[in-house]
């Protein structure tokens, strides 16, 4: 009996060992023996785990290489047009260029002679950089309208036949484009004007001009730019694309050819010390490179030829403008700003006038027809006042202005002027 009890104890021990090493995670029919084994210590279970089921340590997650980001290059302060300066309204301008006068004498019909202004290029030549401009390179398209009252004169009151005198207004329409380049450091401005046609006819004297103006090109370059100040320099070219002037005195006819190219260096400044006030101006030279050829033809005598070349005078322009924002709204639904502008414009001749003339119809007893191209006065000094309003609507500026001459006589090129301008920035 003792031996039997020992064998039974040994069998029980072996069965417990077998049960202990059996898996305890069966999902089916768990026996009472399995339940009793759950009370065993966890280290024993881990110890008898099968090789190959040992948990692997967590591996670090491999991150993809960062993508390269393109960061836009910053423009330097000296090259970035500042918002305050960019919003300053352009200068309005004032100029109506004179191309000289024709003086005709014919002792047979006009003992005292006749006089008429020469509307070369329709009266739209010698571009002034201060016209609808400021001392800052810009991206814009624009339209301009100018009406110069009593700008041209034709007088034949001394003629025995066809005595008359008329003053003419000139309407000028200009389309233009300005585009920046070199990171906003420079800009190229191109503008093309068209004008109303000038015609004066009598029985003995005729003069007429076309309506195509001179193409103007201007290169503007920033020299110094801060948040409040800008200084520019540039060079303009006034190209002779405009109309010639033709006329007649009795039988002889004449043509004044629009040949001269104008070279126009300039300096400009712009200042806005705060968000309400601004000041800007230009100084410009207007230098003709060569003269305008004058030709004639006399069909009665069968003669023709050149009278000569009429040289324009070199001019100096000095323009200053000051303005004040009457209204500003950074979040508008309509007008975002309204500014008042006052300007002074000074123009002077730096050399004497040219004189070109000839006898185009020689007759017996001194009854000749002579044509002389010159100016009524040798030098002139012109001072004009311009007043205007500039309404800003988003990226578009609507502008109206008026010009009032402060000098008279030969120092006055017109009686008054009205202006309308539209600038669209982009």
Mean pLDDT of 141-164: 89
Bridge partners (DSSP) listed for residue 280: 270, 321
Predicted pLDDT of residue 301: 85
Bridge partners (DSSP) listed for residue 103: 115, 372
Predicted pLDDT of residue 105: 82
Predicted pLDDT of residue 204: 82
Query: CA 92, CA 158: separation in Å to the nearest integer?
Result: 40
Phi, psi of 88 (to 5 degrees): -65, 130
Lowest mean pLDDT among 34-43, 302-311, 348-357, 398-407: 34-43
Q: Is the pLDDT of residue 328 over 60?
A: yes
* Residue 190 near residue 216 (C-beta atoms within 8 A): yes
Q: DSSP class of residue 130?
A: T
Higher pLDDT, 397 or 38: 397
* Residue 299 near residue 333 (C-beta atoms within 8 A): no
Query: CA 99, CA 151: separation in Å to the nearest integer?
Result: 12
Domain ranges of the chain: 83-273+283-314+354-376
Q: DSSP class of residue 365?
A: G
Mean pLDDT of 259-272: 97
In terms of Cβ atoms closer than 10 Å to its own Cβ (0-12, 13-18, 19+), residue 385 is middle
- Residue of 200, 197, 181 whose CA lies nearest to 189: 181
Considering only CA atoms, give the Rg of the chain.
Answer: 45
Predicted pLDDT of residue 312: 94
Mean pLDDT of 58-77: 50
Q: Average pLDDT of the chain?
A: 83
- Residue of 233, 166, 170 whose CA lies nearest to 200: 166
Phi, psi of 20 (to 5 degrees): -65, -35
Q: Is the pLDDT of residue 387 over 70?
A: yes
Q: Is the pLDDT of residue 15 over 70?
A: no
Q: Is the pLDDT of residue 337 over 60?
A: yes
Phi, psi of 31 (to 5 degrees): -85, 170
pTM for the model stands at: 0.78
Predicted pLDDT of residue 273: 87
- Residue of 198, 299, 306 whose CA lies nearest to 257: 306
Q: Is the pLDDT of residue 317 over 80?
A: yes
Q: Is the pLDDT of residue 363 over 90?
A: no
Q: Is the pLDDT of residue 57 over 70?
A: no
Predicted pLDDT of residue 367: 62
Element (DSSP H or E) covering residue 178: strand 165-181
In terms of Cβ atoms closer than 10 Å to its own Cβ (0-12, 13-18, 19+), residue 128 is buried
Mean pLDDT of 106-123: 79
Bridge partners (DSSP) listed for residue 256: 245, 294
pLDDT above 70 covers what percent of the chain?
78
Q: What torsion, rounded to 10 degrees, do the Cα atoms 164, 167, 171, 172 define?
A: 100
Q: Is the pLDDT of residue 173 over 90?
A: yes
Predicted pLDDT of residue 164: 87
Predicted pLDDT of residue 110: 58
* Residue 240 near residue 259 (C-beta atoms within 8 A): yes
Q: Give the Cα-Cα-Cα angle 171, 177, 181 (nearest 5 degrees).
A: 155
- 200-247 pLDDT per residue, tens: 998 888 999 999 999 999 999 999 999 899 999 999 999 999 999 999
Predicted pLDDT of residue 262: 97
Query: CA 345, CA 263: separation in Å to the nearest integer?
Result: 20
Q: In what order do the strands lie in the sheet with 303-310?
A: 199-201, 205-209, 245-249, 253-256, 292-298, 303-310
Predicted pLDDT of residue 77: 40
Bridge partners (DSSP) listed for residue 191: 176, 216
* Residue 154 near residue 207 (C-beta atoms within 8 A): yes
Predicted pLDDT of residue 69: 45
Predicted pLDDT of residue 366: 52
* Residue 222 near residue 136 (C-beta atoms within 8 A): yes
Query: CA 162, CA 155: separation in Å to the nearest integer?
Result: 10
Lowest mean pLDDT among 196-205, 255-264, 270-279: 196-205
Which residues lie closer than 8 Å to 102 by C-beta, 6 or more apart?
A: 115, 116, 118, 207, 247, 254, 256, 371, 372, 373
């Amino acid at each position: 009996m003792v031996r039997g009890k020992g064998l039974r104890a040994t069998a029980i021990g072996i069965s417990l060992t077998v049960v202990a090493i059996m898996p305890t995670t069966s999902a089916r029919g768990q026996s009472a023996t399995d339940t009793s084994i759950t009370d065993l210590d966890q280290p024993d279970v881990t110890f008898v785990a099968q090789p190959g089921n040992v948990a692997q340590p967590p591996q670090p997650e491999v991150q993809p290489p960062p993508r390269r980001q393109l960061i836009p290059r910053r423009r330097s302060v000296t090259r970035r047009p500042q918002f305050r300066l960019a919003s300053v309204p352009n200068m309005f301008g004032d100029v109506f260029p004179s191309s000289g006068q024709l003086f005709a004498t014919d002792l047979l019909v006009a003992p005292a002679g006749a006089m008429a202004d020469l509307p070369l290029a329709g009266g739209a030549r010698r571009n002034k950089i201060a016209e609808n401009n400021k001392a800052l390179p810009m991206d814009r398209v624009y339209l301009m309208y100018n009406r110069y009252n009593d700008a041209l004169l034709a007088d034949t009151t001394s003629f025995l036949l066809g005595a008359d005198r008329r003053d003419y207004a000139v309407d000028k329409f200009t389309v233009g484009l300005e585009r920046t380049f070199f990171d906003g450091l420079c800009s190229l401005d191109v503008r093309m004007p068209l004008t109303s046609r000038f015609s004066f006819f009598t029985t003995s004297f005729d003069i007429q001009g076309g309506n195509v103006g001179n193409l103007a090109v201007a290169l503007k370059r920033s020299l110094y730019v801060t948040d409040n100040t800008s200084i520019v320099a540039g060079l303009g070219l006034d190209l002779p694309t405009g109309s010639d002037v033709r006329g007649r005195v009795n039988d002889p006819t004449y043509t004044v050819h629009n040949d001269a190219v104008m070279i126009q260096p300039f300096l400009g400044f712009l200042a806005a010390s705060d968000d309400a006030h601004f000041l800007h101006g230009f100084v410009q030279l207007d230098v003709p490179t060569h003269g305008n050829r004058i030709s004639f033809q006399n069909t009665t005598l069968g003669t023709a030829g050149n009278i000569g070349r009429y040289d324009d005078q070199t001019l100096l322009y000095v323009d200053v403008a000051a303005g004040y924002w009457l209204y500003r709204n950074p979040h508008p639904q309509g007008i975002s700003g309204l500014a008042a502008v006052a300007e002074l414009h000074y123009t002077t001749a730096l050399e004497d006038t040219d004189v070109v003339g000839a006898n185009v119809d020689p007759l017996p007893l001194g009854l000749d027809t002579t044509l002389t191209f010159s100016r009524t006065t040798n030098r002139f000094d012109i001072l004009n006042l311009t007043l205007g309003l500039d309404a800003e609507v988003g990226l578009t500026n609507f502008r109206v202005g008026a010009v009032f001459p402060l000098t008279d006589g030969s120092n006055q090129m017109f009686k008054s002027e009205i202006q309308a301008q539209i600038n669209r920035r982009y």
